[in-house]
A = this chain, B = another copy of it.
């Protein structure tokens, strides 16, 4: 039901007078739409008989080859045979969960974690244990402890679901130093890693992408990728890269779930990658999002009342803000919407109702002036709330 709350929120947030810092929508207007349209027309004219027909459940071989090229940017040496094309990486996650999880199984995730991943695990009737992060992502020691505790409780973790790079919603990145240790901890515990990496190529402070967990662990990781943020979500092209036996199960699950993905969408992406200067386009996107991130961080710094803290993401779409103790981001939301700004309350990103004093702020979609305006409005709402609590004699944390 968490997902439906988020949906209701997005419906409100889409009103034009409201600055939405809620949604994770990429800047598709920045794409060369004229060129993309021409490419589609050409494809339909030249190869319509194939592009508009049923395809294979695993996905188009040419696209799977291109996908391997994209992943090589993150240090991954993969074979097209091990790629399964999916309806965004969301479907990849859903298929992985369906293949691996029985009711009652336990999944470990970061805390907070991607809201709709929690929805997928809930649909499988799996239990979720979350491991807190600091500015370098999860601590391998805390992860090992969690695995140990779960095993001792007779419900060993089956999967570790992680968004290691520019995490959604926290905006933090698992440091290079910790990556090997996290892989090792999972390997020792016999836990399969699900590395969800939609933002890896959207890095704003580094010269090149982070090396993926999968790059150094070909057998212990199922990697999920997506063109939704680097190209366009409306095409719904994502993928899973999985070791052979897992891949076979994913193909069967994909067939049962949808017969085959849209061949047209797949060929559009493949042709775009092969014929267009997509690396240049990505660079433009990185510059645009970097400016938006900087604007958000500057505005937060300039306007937020004392006691509010936030993360400083090196890429991706999200800042994770923490309110002074006692403030409840969900209770605050109606007032924020009244002040014409929206965000996602932190509780959606926890399986256990945690996250009440947190909120996710997206900088990906609104233009800079709107981001500044939105953060100012939000800062006022928080400031007023703090003043009100002072007046009423509610010291921070008094409610607890």
Contact = CB atoms under 8 A, between A and B. Distances in A.
Contact of A257 (B43, B44, B257, B264): B257
Contacts of A52: 28, 31, 33, 36, 232-235
B259 A262 contact: no
A261 B236 contact: yes
A161 to B, nearest CB: 14
A104 interface: no
A43 to B, nearest CB: 7
Nearest to A232: B52
Interface residues of A, number: 59
Interface stretch (A68-76, A85-93, A201-209, A300-308): A85-93
B258 A90 contact: yes
Interface string A246-263: 000000110111111111
A55 B234 contact: yes
A42 B37 CA distance: 7
A7 interface: yes
Interface string A305-333: 00000000000000000000000000000
Of the listed residues A38, A49, A56, A264, the one surrounded by the most CB atoms of chain B closer than 10 A to its CB is A264
Interface stretch (A115-123, A211-219, A274-282, A338-346): A115-123
A48 interface: yes
Given A235-B262, A263-B234, A29 B44 contact: no
Contacts of A23: 54
A56 to B, nearest CB: 8
A256 B3 contact: yes
Interface of A: 3-4, 7, 23, 25-26, 28-29, 31, 33-34, 36-38, 40-45, 48-57, 87-88, 90-91, 94, 98, 116, 119-120, 123, 228, 232-236, 252-253, 255-265
6 contacts: A25-B54, A26-B53, A31-B52, A34-B44, A36-B52, A37-B48
